[in-house]
Structure 1
């Protein structure tokens, strides 16, 4: 890891909503608001935060499933936000996605062979024999047998369906994969299996992941670096081990303290720092720091000035006035 694969600069994604069904008044939801970060080749960048913080929207905007309102997304130096549909087709192949719900993301009227064939037919010109070999090869890599090809999604368990979704995403040999809550719909016992599978495939195929999740304990195991998101903003970016050992932002500390500890003795000694107050409406965001309405360390400055992202330690960035000189 060293060379940057994806660089996001000042990315914004705003949605226009009506205040009510019968109203003509429109309001703006700033789902992603001026976000910048980068992902290196071969790296797994974890993106965490509460539900509704904008992390899935950010991932989908990076891959241009959503069109950005403003900002840049550079893939190997090329700003893909400025590409037309024909030019973007090349990058569609390079950037694939694993969806949250392995059942609704698979066409129930298509068998496994047809599901995996679909992206191959769109992005690659293969002979019938080459396509069949590719399908069987990727199916074996995700841990499914050849006899699964003729079966339909409803005939599989949740974990097996997610493996089919992974096979579909990897069939065209992408460089970058967005895993959008890829394990949250699975049983806990199956989650670890899927995480291990993704790590093995990453090593074997040289993949780069953007791993979106709300389960911080799982993100810890798969991520090289982690970005913490709150109300459309990334408030902290750090190497995974460093974030868990030395969280800086009050929001990150609160999220980590909420992770259940399986050892009863350690759980009694642990300091629990719950997040107080209600999550502000995305239609009426607080001035200054967006976390200030729930932060125990908020000052008058927090209401007036929005904190900038600063490097506090090596590769450890935080947007908080507590760490300003």
Structure 2
């Protein structure tokens, strides 16, 4: 079977935010939200991105979309480095790259009807006339499991799950190839989460979509992802196939993350050894030299405090950034 082409390639991506550390501070400090991150996603694939709050997952997604301008690095989309493109040059790529936002309550304009929200991008890109646009909106409402008459209503009239369906319909309006799903289920009831994930999978198969799926829920990420990347404090510490990463995690942080997943079977849960990490997550402002996980890692040695581990392939396509390998 022939491997599908690489649709998105991210090389040494960095996004630093300047911060003031004090009234009389002379030197600028930076929050290194995304620091030298590299990965690729093939066409039709889903790459899951996991890690604790503040690790840089959402910033990575927004920087790829160029909602944040990258500090440095390459974002190669379908063979073209879009990192250096101006806003005007990015317009054709805005149709191809779309985003589903985390908060379905904040991401929809309360003053616009659902029909106008979904059809806005079609109007901006001048893809259809008014009548065709209205037909396209009705088609999209049906695609995401909403009724035709919902297009005339306003966002406040819908539940969280319905609002997220509206957000998904909006992202599909201009026929994208690639969608960043930024924690699309974290604000929803558990009963609704599975419905949304199943719908995303069906849409992917039907429309040949490629996803970057950012999430906290590790079991849900395993369900939807082909490969998974684990982030810690702005760095990718491990990346590999979904099954490999869950069945045999390599990085100490990945092991700790997976040990925290609740197990419904009480007999199996009793055998599961929870790894409790000691200490607090270090500040992302001008991090100290060496491995960023060293202060919380029981395997840390002298080298970990001096030299930063690089992401390297260790076995069967798995990559890990750790001096143990």
Please indicate the TM-score interval, normalised by the length of the shorter structure.
over 0.9
Could you say what the CA RMSD is over the residues aligned between the two structures, in angstroms?
Answer: 1.2
- How far apart are the structure 1 equivalents of 2:130 and 2:13? 41
How has the CA–CA distance of structure 1 residues 24 and 284 changed in structure 2, closer, same or farther, with 3 Å as cutoff?
closer
2:83 alignment partner, SS class: helix
Residue from 129, 140, 148 that aligns with 1:146: 148
CA contact (8 A) 1:18 1:24 kept: no
Deviation at 1:286, TM superposition (A): 2.9
Residue 215 of structure 1 and its aligned partner are, at CA, apart by 1.2
Match of 1:43 in 2: 45
- Provide Cα deviations, 1:244-273, integer angstroms capped at 9, x if missing partner: 001000000000000111111111111111
Equivalences for residues 142-181 of structure 1 within 5 A: 142-181=144-183
The structure 2 residue matched to 1:187, chosen from 186, 189, 192, is 189
Between the aligned partners of 1:26 and 1:187, the Cα distance in structure 2 is 42
- For structure 2, the residue ranges without an aligned partner over 5 or more in a row are none
User: d(CA) in 1 for partners of 2:70 and 2:261?
Assistant: 33
Do the aligned residues in 2 keep the contact of 1:225 with 1:239 (CA within 8 Å)? yes
State how far apart, in whole Å, the 2-side matches of 1:57 and 1:230 are: 13
Distance (whole Å) between structure 1 residues aligned to residue 125 and residue 45 of structure 2 = 24
Query: TM-score when scaled to structure 1?
Result: 0.97
Where do 1:258-277 residues align within 5 Å? Answer: 258-277=260-279
C-alpha separation in 2, matches of 1:316 and 1:299: 23
Displacement of 1:129: 2.0
Q: Distance in 1 between matches of 2:69 and 2:269?
A: 44
Return the alpha-carbon distance in structure 1 between the equivalents of residues 313 and 21 of structure 2: 39
Task: Name the CA shift for 1:141/1:247 in 2 (closer, same or farther; >3 Å).
Answer: same
Q: Secondary structure at the match of 2:166?
A: helix
Could you tell me whether the CA contact under 8 Å between 1:124 and 1:172 is conserved in 2? Answer: no
- Could you tell me how far 1:24 is from its partner in structure 2? 6.5
The alignment of Structure 1 onto Structure 2 pairs a total of residues equal to 323
User: How much does 1:309 deviate?
Assistant: 1.2
- What is the CA–CA distance in structure 2 between the aligned matches of 1:174 and 1:118, rounded to whole Å? 15
Instruction: Give unmatched runs, 5+ long, in structure 1.
Output: none
Distance 1:277 1:23 in 2: 28
Task: Provide Cα deviations, 1:130-153, integer angstroms capped at 9, x if missing partner.
Answer: 111211111111000101011111
1:227 and 2:224 equivalent? no
- Structure 1 residue 124: deviation in Å? 3.5
1:72 equivalent in alignment to 2:74? yes
Q: What secondary structure sits across from 1:321 in the alignment?
A: coil
Aligned twin of 1:104: 106
Q: In the alignment, is the contact (CA less than 8 A) between 2:183 and 2:214 conserved in 1?
A: yes
Deviation digits for residues 83-136 of structure 1, max 9, x if unmatched? 112210000110000000001100011111111111111124212221112111
SS of 1:322's partner is: coil
Q: Which residue of 1 aligns with 2:322?
A: 320
Q: d(CA) in 1 for partners of 2:30 and 2:151?
A: 46
Question: What corresponds to 1:13 in structure 2?
Answer: 15
Match of 2:5 in 1: 3
Kept in 1, the 8 Å contact 2:32–2:284? The answer is: yes
C-alpha separation in 2, matches of 1:257 and 1:124: 50
**Cross-structure match for 1:204:** 206
Alpha-carbon distance in structure 2 between the residues aligned to 1:131 and 1:284: 49
Distance 2:115 2:206 in 1: 23
Equivalent residue for 2:248? 246
What is the alpha-carbon distance in structure 1 between the residues aligned to residue 134 and residue 70 of structure 2? Answer: 37
Q: 1:236 & 1:40 partners in 2: Cα distance?
A: 18
Identify the residue that residue 120 of structure 2 maps to in structure 1.
Answer: 118
Which aligned runs of 4 or more in structure 1 are off by greater than 3 angstroms?
Answer: 20-26
